[in-house]
């Protein structure tokens, strides 16, 4: 990969980094205006995700990777749909329903260890794909905008899962489902030992594998080429003999599958039960991850690490200072806003590049 400040296409690649800096700057200014000590707060924010590495205590970095795990999967889910020209704002609902299937299998099925979580993870993916199928099918068949259907499916999943959990796998409290069996968990002792008791689990590796598989599908297969082609220009793809409708449905189903996997990593790797009446925020954060990562698997990896790092640091900051933890959510949301208006940032960058070129020509 070559990078040149003189090349306009290269310089546009800088805009996500500038969005991040602007988002952090916004948070910094907000802290300053609110009368907090921004330097101290940011120190704790950054320490929260890393502290201890030098002393061989990897708990905090493990927790960062654990926070990052579902974000990688929802992020790649949204990014995958984006490449086919679809906006998957329904990752939250897909993740929740997938997670329900995983927890259901974890509670009700009696299977040996290793097999049990594998079945649960697969079930979660299929559950997510089913939820993703609805907007995909309606888009292909009736040309209805997928965003509206996705929003509606989020709430249908929310209420549907609440009903199903309360009826089939009720827990001790009304607000929680039953806890999964020991055999179904994605937690593994050898990982916890390496990371000094962190919540990091096998889900992290599932997410990494998913990123690699998606990368191969998009870049090395005819199917991936067709999906991207549909994203660029539907009419041209149709004319070239591709089945646009089928590709739209497949794309949403795969996006749903990936978000469903996120549900598995979160609900049988981290919480071990379904919390009722809440849509998992990771689904919406996945939009931020995908946008910032410019819809590429590598970009999703980097941006989900950043958000996992910030979210993990937020708890440390909130416990060490009086700054509310929501600061990090503000920073993340403002990063998306800056990413949304990246045309403005790109304009400045290109101007800057032209100026530098002029200077070097002389």
Partner 1 sequence: MWQLLTDIMPYAIMNTIPMFIVALGGLVSERSGIVNIALEGMMVIGAFISSIFIYYYGSNFDNNGVWIAMLVAGFGTAIFSLLHAYASITLNADQVISGTALNMIAPALTIFLSRYLTGSQNINIGRGVNRFDVPILSEIPVIGPLFFSNYYNTTAVMVLLGVGVWYLIFKTKFGLRLRACGENPHAADSMGINVYLMRYIGVLMSGFLAGVGGALFIVTISGEFNGTVSGLGFLALGALIFGKWNVFRVLGATLFFGFMKTLGNVAMVNPTLQSLSLPTEFYNALPYFMTIIALVLFSKNTVGPKAAGQIYDKGKR
Residues in contact with partner 1 by CB under 8 A are: 30, 34, 87, 89, 134, 138, 142-145, 147-149, 151-153, 155-156, 159-160, 162-163, 167, 284, 287-288, 291, 324, 326-327, 329-330, 332-334, 336-337, 339-341, 343-344
Nearer of residues 117 and 132 to partner 1, judged by Cβ:
132
Name the minimum Å distance from CB 211 to partner 1: 22
Name the minimum Å distance from CB 324 to partner 1: 4
Give dist(CA 345, CA 341) in Å, integer.
7
Task: Please give the biggest Cα pair distance in the chain.
Answer: 76
Name the minimum Å distance from CB 142 to partner 1: 4
Nearer of residues 143 and 360 to partner 1, judged by Cβ:
143
Name the minimum Å distance from CB 85 to partner 1: 12
Name the minimum Å distance from CB 58 to partner 1: 29
User: Considering only CA atoms, which of 94, 89, 88 is closest in space to residue 267?
Assistant: 94
Nearer of residues 59 and 325 to partner 1, judged by Cβ:
325
Nearer of residues 182 and 326 to partner 1, judged by Cβ:
326
List C-alpha distances in Å: 150 to 46, 132, 136.
Answer: 35, 8, 9
For residue 170, the SS3 value is strand
C-beta of residue 27 within 8 angstroms of C-beta of residue 331 = yes
Secondary structure (DSSP) of 12-37: HTTHHHHHHHHHHHHHHHHHHHTT--
List C-alpha distances in Å: 1 to 4, 10.
Answer: 10, 10
Which residue has 């929003």 as its token pair? 151
Give dist(CA 160, CA 198) in Å, integer.
32
Nearer of residues 218 and 339 to partner 1, judged by Cβ:
339
Name the minimum Å distance from CB 254 to partner 1: 21
C-beta of residue 72 within 8 angstroms of C-beta of residue 203 = no
Name the minimum Å distance from CB 179 to partner 1: 22
Nearer of residues 259 and 288 to partner 1, judged by Cβ:
288
C-beta of residue 125 within 8 angstroms of C-beta of residue 209 = no
List C-alpha distances in Å: 139 to 80, 83, 131, 227.
Answer: 16, 16, 14, 15
Nearer of residues 284 and 316 to partner 1, judged by Cβ:
284
């Amino acid at each position: 990969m070559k990078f040149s400040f003189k090349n306009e296409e290269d310089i546009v690649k800088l805009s996500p980094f500038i969005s991040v800096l602007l988002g952090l700057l916004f948070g910094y200014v907000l802290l300053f205006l609110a009368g907090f000590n921004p330097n101290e707060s940011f120190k704790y924010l950054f320490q929260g995700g890393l502290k201890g590495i030098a002393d061989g205590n990897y708990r905090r970095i493990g927790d960062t990777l654990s926070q990052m795990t579902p974000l990688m999967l929802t992020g790649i889910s949204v990014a995958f749909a984006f490449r086919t020209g679809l906006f998957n704002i329904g990752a939250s609902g897909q993740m929740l329903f997938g997670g329900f299937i995983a927890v259901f299998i974890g509670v009700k099925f009696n299977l040996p260890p290793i097999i049990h979580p594998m079945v649960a993870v697969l079930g979660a993916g299929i559950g997510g794909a089913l939820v993703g199928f609805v907007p995909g099918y309606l888009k292909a068949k009736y040309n209805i905008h997928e965003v509206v259907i996705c929003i509606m499916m989020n709430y249908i999943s929310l209420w549907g899962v609440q009903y199903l959990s309360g009826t089939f796998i009720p827990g001790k409290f009304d607000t929680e489902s039953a806890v999964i069996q020991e055999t179904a968990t994605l937690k593994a002792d050898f990982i916890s030992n390496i990371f000094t008791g962190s919540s990091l689990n096998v889900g992290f590796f599932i997410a990494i594998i998913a990123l690699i598989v998606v990368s191969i599908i998009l870049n090395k297969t005819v199917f991936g080429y067709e999906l991207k082609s549909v994203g660029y220009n539907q009419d041209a793809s149709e004319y070239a003999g591709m089945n646009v409708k089928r590709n739209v449905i497949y794309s949403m189903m795969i996006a749903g599958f990936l978000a469903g996997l996120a549900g598995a990593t979160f609900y049988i790797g981290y919480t071990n039960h379904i919390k009722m009446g809440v849509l998992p925020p990771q689904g919406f954060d996945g939009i931020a991850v995908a946008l910032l990562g410019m819809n590429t698997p590598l970009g999703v990896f980097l941006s989900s690490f950043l958000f996992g790092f910030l979210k993990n640091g937020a708890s440390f900051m909130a416990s060490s200072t009086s700054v509310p933890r929501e600061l990090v959510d503000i920073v993340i949301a403002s990063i998306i806003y800056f990413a949304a208006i990246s045309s403005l940032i790109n304009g400045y960058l290109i101007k800057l590049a032209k100026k530098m070129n002029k200077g070097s020509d002389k």
